[in-house]
Structure 1
Amino acid sequence: MLDQLLDRMTLEEQVALLSGADFWTTVAVERLGILKIKVTDGPNGARGGGSLVGGVKSACFPAAIGIGAAWNPGLVREMGVALAEETKTKSARVLLAPTVNIHRSGLNGRNFECYSEDPVLTSALAVAYIEGVQSQGIAATIKHFIGNESEIERQTMSSDLDERTLREIYLPPFEAAVKQAGVWAIMSSYNRLNGVWTSENRWLLTELLREEWGYDGIVMSDWFGSHTTEASVIGGLDLEMPGPTRDRGDKLITAVREGRVPEETVKAAARRILLLLERVGAFADASMHEEKAIDRPEHRALIRKLGADGMVLLKNDGILPLDKSALDRIAVLGPNAAEPRVMGGGSAQINAHYKVSPLEGIRNALSGTNRVSHIMGCRNNRLTRMVEGEISLDFFQGTRCEGTVVHSDQAQISNFFWLDMPKASLDPLDFSVRLKTTYRPEESGNHLFGLANAGLARLYVDDVLVVDSYGGWKRGDNFFGNGNTEIRVEHFLEAGRSYEIRVDYRSPAEVESGIRIRALRFGVELPTSDKDIQLAVEQARASDIAVLFVGREGEWDTEGLDLPDMRLPGRQEELIEKVAAVNPRSIVVLQTGGPIEMPWLDKVSAVIQAWYPGQEAGNAIADVLFGAAEPGGRLPQTFPQRLTDNSAMTGDPKTYPGESGHVVYTEGLAVGYRHHDANGAKPLFPFGYGLSYTRFDWSAPRASSRDMGSAGVAIEVDVTNIGDRAGGELVQLYVKPKSSRLPRPVKELKAFAKLHVAAGETATAKLSIAVRDLAYFDPQARAWIAEAGDYDLVIAANAEHIRATLPLTLASEWREGVSAPPLPDVVD
């Protein structure tokens, strides 16, 4: 059918399929009954085709790093099924997820959106996610292919890697997605690989992906992430997104007719687009309904379960789980207590059906009693606090907020993305908006007003210009690097008085190449004072326990910028230290998208890493605090004691954050626990670490053979719960070569099993490895090689806690050749 349809298409119609129609849909060829389909962002929800903020509500699932911490492919498969259901409510056929880039450092702004520092764990979760999504007829889109481990200058930076590092660390999740899960779509990354844009890299997209791995799905660009006509099509990029086209269309038709692009190359790409449409059922039913907000109780329950399953108990002196009957007064403190931090920022954010804060969750768990007191203590937001309430918007043609109002709207929060115009008659390069709202401060004092904009803006208070972001505007660290750095100005406000805030925004006269965004964000807040912290300290002093909810939020952990360091922002460390000094029964609940330094660790009784656990955040956290659920997580990323212990932080800017447009992965294979094994630097918490509310005994491991054969080797470990409550345990299997012709990591994870064991019961961890699990990639030999000789199979609870070691022998060398030519050297 597809070939017959393809033969009926003109060159113009084939080319039309190779670009988006608009921001979220593909092009229709109505003459042949080919209708458009919609795509939607993920990976922790399905946002639909609206703005990055607001829009139709959706279920918000835990961020990927929390899913990585769960080490539970079965549960991830369930999540994939649920996300496919969510995608259908937005009338979309393609989910732009999962994100599987590796945790190379602790500073990547999208660390929260990726699973792990380890390719085996990442691969297992990616396969489960894809299988779940695609089982429902929705296409998964694994991303970002490849080398997008930092957000710094990501649209121009070249990630420079040797082929062995690429194949052993960064490519395995994509390879598994193709060969095991049969993924239907792949998204190229913004960056270059060894100097060549990934969106036109023939070695990556054609010679490796299609010819060596046998991939038959589509490759789409990241949004505005393609750059050329001929090079991208010949390189293997099928779909330029978003539309309307920039480099395809007439340019590509001309290139074909002039012989610069083979007609068969266009035809093959068009066929892959048609295959995608067939796979998602678009030929059988191409209807596109209005987006719906369907709040399913089964999704609520799954989100709550996933949230708890990914929470990692890092420290516990016996205070947890909390006994509700033994507590008269609980101080709930910190900037994340009353604010539900449920997700990271950037394209992963959605308009959640609801968001449960930890304060609400604790009060729910205690049936609304008055035993709970709350003081924020300090702030942790990167940008000034957004204004919430009724905000009016009047849109004008032209850039002066003058003339007839073309369109009016209302909003409830002062954050705006205009990816598409709210009215078709508005010119996206020549419009303006006047926003008005009322603000009533609770305290008198100098308030901070902040303004960030992609475009130009001015903020007035009672018609007095306070923040001017017109003159001298330049790109900064907001709106994916397309907005300025927030401008902050102090302005005195009197408590109880109502002030009118007005912002006049105008679109930029021209939009540079890259992501095209028109956006605005404004805020106002009273900065943290010594009095705020002291109130929290006094509340802690007068309480049985103090629970501190600290960390970051989606303005720190976000697409478009990396973190400045691994410390808690603002005065949070001070708050923890002072609270713990007056109440040693202090519990810290962290919400971050990656590791942090913890100079206060020895002074508190317990620490839970809760990540960003989705819309049920507060309920899931309360479940863990009070023992209704086990803290099921184990770290998917090493927590170093200090930033300089990270392998990417060599002090050489070429290694991180990059220099002269290139970031060089000089650490090679030494990522995460591999680095700590190699240099002996003791981590704060090792990869795979996590405590439980119960205790386990492990049996001696049993192997099906001490010799590696063609059928592989199976290993079993009996795990007995000797505590008085059910709990989860993680069994890891690492391979440790005794010798090697090429340098190798000390050990590498090759299998794992997550067990849930009832009190007094025994469960068996069943692990298996194949001969390729013993192999390394030899670039000179163009093959995966497992050398004949002796290996150790290391059975461990985490990367530092080794339970047992089994010997294994491979009698003769094993090789599996690759067909792709060598990865080209770095070019400028």
Structure 2
Amino acid sequence: MAQHADGDQRDQAREAAVEAALGKLDLDSKTRLLAGQDMWSLPPIPEIGLKSLVMSDGPIGVRGTRWTADDPSIALPSPTALAATWDPALARRAGALLAQEARRKGVHVLLAPTVNLHRSPLGGRHFEAYSEDPYLTGAIGTGYVQGVQSGGVGTTVKHFVANDAETDRFTVNNLVGERALRELYLAPFEAIVANAHPWGIMTAYNQVNGTTMTEHRYLVNEILRGEWGFDGFNVSDWLAARSTTGALKGGLDVAMPGPQTVYGPALAAAVRAGEADESEIDDAVRRVLRLAARVGALDGAEPVVTEAPAEIDGEALAREIARRAFVLVRNTGVLPLRPDTRIALVGAAARDARVLGGGSATVFPAHITSPLDGLGAAFPSLTYAVGADPSDELAPADQGFELRAVCRDAEGTVLGEGTLPSGQLQWLGDDLPAGVTHEALHSIEITGTFTPRESGDHAFGTRGLGAFTLTVDGTVLYDGVQSMGTESDPFEAIFGAPRERGKVTLTAGRPVEVSLLHPLDRSRAMPLPAVLFSLVHLGPRRDADALIAEAVEAARDAEAAVVVVATTERVESEGFDRTDLRLPGRQDDLVRAVAAANPNTVVVVNSGSPVELPWRDEVAAVLLSWFPGQEGGAALADVLGGAEEPGGRLPTTWGALADAPVTGVTPADGELAYTEGVFIGYRAWDRSGATPAYPFGHGLGYTDWSYESLDIDSTSAVSGASGTTATVRVRNTGERTGREVVQVYLAPAPSQADTDRPARWLAGFATVTAGPGETVEAVIGLPRRAFETWDETTGAWVHREGAYVVTAGRSLTDARLNETIAA
């Protein structure tokens, strides 16, 4: 009680400091504070003791204010992987690590987590979100936010709301019924606000029911702030704010990035013209100053966290999360492998690991442990074959390239240089090398050497808009201009398709000079100062059948084959949605051929979200590794060798696209109607009657479990209190220590079933660990909200009285125990 009172006193002291600072600001200072001063920060105001507030992209790391490998960051597994652990406490530890990274980089606010839902499996950015289920999403997101903010760093829960696809994301009008909004899309945000008290929310690009989210007064002011009591700041997604007065009245506090935004001088002018109320500006500034006070950027205000938490070993945590996230969806007994097993490792992704998704989630780890690295260290008898490359498209120059960017003025004088982690150059705002300004910058040359690891014809090309001169080994491959197409996304230069410009025959191990010169086009209007283009490359394309034949021979001579298949950045990335769920290239053919040659074939699926696995019943084991972060290869060795068990369970249903009940991501006449209502994910699969490849919640370990009893305490639910408690007793019947995710689902009793509710839904879960023969109890609270639906007529939550079947089990479809209760 005394601790709570002490917290209240500190909050009051911070609020007093905020009010004192606010009272010293004039109109121009206030409106300037609500607009970014550059790409990532708000302006300092020294006269009130306000430091510049710095923001950075997450969610798997903290990139900082520069898109460079010079300042590396820990790269954790993808958010889908974190959700696959079904462990909010582990998510909290991940958040605490990222707070540590943020403090190291001088970052006050992490632009994460993403808690939009997997409405359609075609969503291109789903690797960055958690799940198709709002309850699981809210629980993992709560842990993440609690962890980040426990380190004194703010979060911005995003993207508020219904930003569930990438197609036409800047303009799409998502038509979502009020019930679906409340029960699905708003639900994770509501849970996180209630349980983690985030210091920030980011509003999305899209419209919801005719109003763009940066101007959505109803959803932001009435629901988020009014009903839920959110007291943090509301920042726009980058370039999302479109109207000065509309955004202010819609509850937007900060318009990013700057300095050219709809706020700043434009907002001050609106007040002086009588078009905006200064009291609304005061409210927004107050929330920004409250954020500054919480993170320690306002003099006279004690930050929420006064002492940095104990240091966390980032590499060890990245490895732990990865192995806890791996989902073993099939195992005929081949796993785990003996340390002396003769293994044939197959797949381009085994050598060149894909550890994270594309887009703004990109960070640059100091090192990456690939599957080849990890398994090679753990299994002495290992051979490797490429087998099949998932991509036949040029990608940013990477392996074998040593590059730098040379900046010149109009006279050709060098202004400065910057190192490049790859051929992808992304300088946003003032993210320029020392001594370089946008005003003086006339051209950039990506230059350096390329040492091929394979002999043959190497393709080179460009991605971006404007003039390019591409030279490789003294030969000019391209000298021309790439014009703007019909693209509406201002980040098309980052996410657009690469273009091949020519081929050069090169010899393995012999370095050659490469150069891509890009004069800037000052006539092309840009929404913010930026330099965005890429040098792209594709190695020699050997005959696909010959590569597969080599892999088959390697597999035939081994005791076990491990095939790593993967998606590519052109399949899963921010900026576009997927067109299908197939693995790219000849990877399906590769798996079938290897499986025919070796009955002990294990397939590792390196993707951030579902893909089709048409050969899944033809192989001995299937392990989903998601985008496993920088330590993914080491974690894979831990799991395949049995030092650790795969701990993950599916946070999203995996199935064939032809069977998926909800798929639409493409607007018609600018609108995308969520006609399915509350039936997405497993709710929709249940309703359609189709059978997915692997159901929600599915995952195998290396031991067996017996579910012995389910006890329900429904007293609290009957009396109208917080909810029901389910106590599930489980026993480890195997010979190894294991971890089990006990899942509890609710369903209306058969006599209570109706068409307006799903057949069943996740109501609670818990993770338990037990040794061989040991019995443990999982105590799972079932919140009152699990028994409620939103009534669109009354505009209120309604407790649905009646009989419910409470089911405890290992997945949605693996029910072990059930009890019927009245609620």
Give TM-score, length-normalised by structure 1.
0.91
The answer to whether the Cα contact below 8 Å between 2:464 and 2:492 also exists between their aligned partners in 1 is no
Give deviations 1:736-773, integer Å, cap 9, x for gaps: 12437771111111111111222121111111223332
Alignment partner, residue 39 of structure 2:
23
Alignment partner, residue 485 of structure 1:
497
For 2:53, the aligned partner's letter is: I
Q: Distance in 1 between matches of 2:453 and 2:295?
A: 53
Q: Distance in 2 between matches of 1:611 and 1:363?
A: 20
Q: Distance in 1 between matches of 2:601 and 2:529?
A: 46
Alignment partner for residue 669 of structure 1, among 648, 667, 678?
Answer: 678
Q: Distance in 1 between matches of 2:454 and 2:369?
A: 27
Alpha-carbon distance, 1:572 to partner: 0.8
Alignment partner, residue 281 of structure 1:
296
The answer to whether the Cα contact below 8 Å between 1:477 and 1:560 also exists between their aligned partners in 2 is no
Give deviations 1:152-193, integer Å, cap 9, x for gaps: 121122222111111111111111121111110000111111
Structure 1 residues 770 and 405, CA, compared in 2 at 3 Å: closer, same or farther? Answer: closer
Alignment partner, residue 818 of structure 1:
none
Note if 1:374 corresponds to 2:384: yes
Alignment partner, residue 802 of structure 2:
789
Structure 1 residues 503 and 73, CA, compared in 2 at 3 Å: closer, same or farther? Answer: same
For 2:719, the aligned partner's letter is: G
The answer to whether the Cα contact below 8 Å between 1:155 and 1:514 also exists between their aligned partners in 2 is no
The answer to whether the Cα contact below 8 Å between 1:392 and 1:436 also exists between their aligned partners in 2 is yes
Structure 1 residues 594 and 416, CA, compared in 2 at 3 Å: closer, same or farther? Answer: same
Alignment partner, residue 600 of structure 1:
615
Alignment partner, residue 813 of structure 1:
none
SS in structure 2 at match of 1:581: helix
SS in structure 2 at match of 1:337: helix
Q: Distance in 1 between matches of 2:457 and 2:71?
A: 37
Q: Distance in 1 between matches of 2:437 and 2:21?
A: 38
Alignment of 1:670-685 (within 5 A): 670-685=679-694
Q: Distance in 2 between matches of 1:630 and 1:44?
A: 23
For 1:157, the aligned partner's letter is: V
Structure 1 residues 254 and 793, CA, compared in 2 at 3 Å: closer, same or farther? Answer: same
SS in structure 1 at match of 2:633: helix
Alignment partner, residue 208 of structure 2:
193
Alignment of 1:64-213 (within 5 A): 64-213=79-228
Alpha-carbon distance, 1:494 to partner: 4.3
SS in structure 2 at match of 1:348: coil
For 2:781, the aligned partner's letter is: S
The answer to whether the Cα contact below 8 Å between 1:430 and 1:508 also exists between their aligned partners in 2 is no
Alignment partner for residue 214 of structure 1, among 229, 241, 261?
Answer: 229
Alignment partner for residue 406 of structure 1, among 411, 415, 419?
Answer: 415
Alpha-carbon distance, 1:317 to partner: 0.7
Q: Distance in 1 between matches of 2:374 and 2:489?
A: 32
Alignment partner for residue 648 of structure 1, among 658, 662, 669?
Answer: 662
The answer to whether the Cα contact below 8 Å between 2:559 and 2:600 also exists between their aligned partners in 1 is yes
Alpha-carbon distance, 1:453 to partner: 1.4
For 1:47, the aligned partner's letter is: R
Alignment partner for residue 771 of structure 2, among 742, 746, 758?
Answer: 758
Give deviations 1:695-740, integer Å, cap 9, x for gaps: 0110121112377332332111111001110111121112212437
Q: Distance in 2 between matches of 1:137 and 1:64?
A: 22
Structure 1 residues 517 and 799, CA, compared in 2 at 3 Å: closer, same or farther? Answer: farther
Note if 1:524 corresponds to 2:542: no
CA RMSD of aligned residues (A): 2.4
Q: Distance in 1 between matches of 2:748 and 2:452?
A: 64
Alignment partner for residue 598 of structure 2, among 578, 583, 605?
Answer: 583
Note if 1:390 corresponds to 2:399: no
For 2:365, the aligned partner's letter is: A
Alignment partner for residue 799 of structure 1, among 812, 819, 822?
Answer: 812
SS in structure 1 at match of 2:433: coil
Alignment partner for residue 25 of structure 2, among 1, 6, 9?
Answer: 9
Alignment partner, residue 54 of structure 1:
69
Note if 1:659 corresponds to 2:668: yes
For 1:643, the aligned partner's letter is: L
Structure 1 residues 47 and 412, CA, compared in 2 at 3 Å: closer, same or farther? Answer: closer
Alignment partner, residue 323 of structure 1:
338
Alignment partner, residue 720 of structure 2:
710
SS in structure 2 at match of 1:699: strand
Q: Distance in 2 between matches of 1:267 and 1:438?
A: 54
- Mean CA deviation greater in 388-397 or 308-317: 388-397
Note if 1:311 corresponds to 2:326: yes
Alignment partner, residue 477 of structure 2:
466
Structure 1 residues 741 and 699, CA, compared in 2 at 3 Å: closer, same or farther? Answer: closer
The answer to whether the Cα contact below 8 Å between 2:344 and 2:384 also exists between their aligned partners in 1 is yes
Alpha-carbon distance, 1:509 to partner: 2.7
Q: Distance in 1 between matches of 2:501 and 2:644?
A: 46
Alpha-carbon distance, 1:454 to partner: 4.3
The answer to whether the Cα contact below 8 Å between 1:480 and 1:559 also exists between their aligned partners in 2 is no
Alpha-carbon distance, 1:476 to partner: 5.6
Give deviations 1:441-464, integer Å, cap 9, x for gaps: 455544322321144423223454
Alignment partner, residue 630 of structure 2:
615
Alpha-carbon distance, 1:473 to partner: 4.1
SS in structure 1 at match of 2:448: strand
For 1:732, the aligned partner's letter is: Q
Alignment partner, residue 315 of structure 2:
300
The answer to whether the Cα contact below 8 Å between 1:446 and 1:490 also exists between their aligned partners in 2 is no
For 1:149, the aligned partner's letter is: D
For 2:629, the aligned partner's letter is: G
Structure 1 residues 482 and 234, CA, compared in 2 at 3 Å: closer, same or farther? Answer: farther
Q: Distance in 2 between matches of 1:128 and 1:777?
A: 26
Structure 1 residues 428 and 90, CA, compared in 2 at 3 Å: closer, same or farther? Answer: same
Q: Percent identical across equivalent pairs?
A: 36
Structure 1 residues 318 and 709, CA, compared in 2 at 3 Å: closer, same or farther? Answer: same
Alpha-carbon distance, 1:428 to partner: 6.2
Alpha-carbon distance, 1:478 to partner: 9.5
Q: Distance in 2 between matches of 1:56 and 1:665?
A: 42
Alpha-carbon distance, 1:297 to partner: 6.9
Structure 1 residues 441 and 28, CA, compared in 2 at 3 Å: closer, same or farther? Answer: closer
The answer to whether the Cα contact below 8 Å between 1:477 and 1:561 also exists between their aligned partners in 2 is no
The answer to whether the Cα contact below 8 Å between 2:100 and 2:311 also exists between their aligned partners in 1 is no
Structure 1 residues 677 and 117, CA, compared in 2 at 3 Å: closer, same or farther? Answer: same
The runs of 5 or more residues in structure 2 that have no matched partner are 1-15, 303-309
- Mean CA deviation greater in 94-103 or 407-416: 407-416
Q: Distance in 2 between matches of 1:359 and 1:145?
A: 40
Q: Distance in 2 between matches of 1:108 and 1:599?
A: 20
Give deviations 1:609-651, integer Å, cap 9, x for gaps: 01112111111011110011110000000001x11222322xx
The answer to whether the Cα contact below 8 Å between 1:550 and 1:590 also exists between their aligned partners in 2 is yes
- Mean CA deviation greater in 507-516 or 545-554: 507-516
For 1:148, the aligned partner's letter is: N
The answer to whether the Cα contact below 8 Å between 2:354 and 2:566 also exists between their aligned partners in 1 is no
- Mean CA deviation greater in 68-77 or 527-536: 527-536
For 2:516, the aligned partner's letter is: V
The answer to whether the Cα contact below 8 Å between 1:449 and 1:467 also exists between their aligned partners in 2 is no
The answer to whether the Cα contact below 8 Å between 1:45 and 1:60 also exists between their aligned partners in 2 is yes
For 2:402, the aligned partner's letter is: E
The answer to whether the Cα contact below 8 Å between 1:3 and 1:271 also exists between their aligned partners in 2 is yes
Structure 1 residues 340 and 45, CA, compared in 2 at 3 Å: closer, same or farther? Answer: same
Structure 1 residues 113 and 431, CA, compared in 2 at 3 Å: closer, same or farther? Answer: same
Alpha-carbon distance, 1:787 to partner: 2.6
- Mean CA deviation greater in 445-454 or 613-622: 445-454
Alignment partner, residue 686 of structure 1:
695
Alpha-carbon distance, 1:363 to partner: 1.9
- Mean CA deviation greater in 248-257 or 117-126: 248-257
Q: Distance in 1 between matches of 2:147 and 2:455?
A: 53
SS in structure 1 at match of 2:550: helix
Q: Distance in 1 between matches of 2:23 and 2:530?
A: 38
Structure 1 residues 490 and 12, CA, compared in 2 at 3 Å: closer, same or farther? Answer: closer
- Mean CA deviation greater in 435-444 or 596-605: 435-444
Alpha-carbon distance, 1:430 to partner: 5.9
- Mean CA deviation greater in 4-13 or 482-491: 482-491
Structure 1 residues 618 and 208, CA, compared in 2 at 3 Å: closer, same or farther? Answer: same
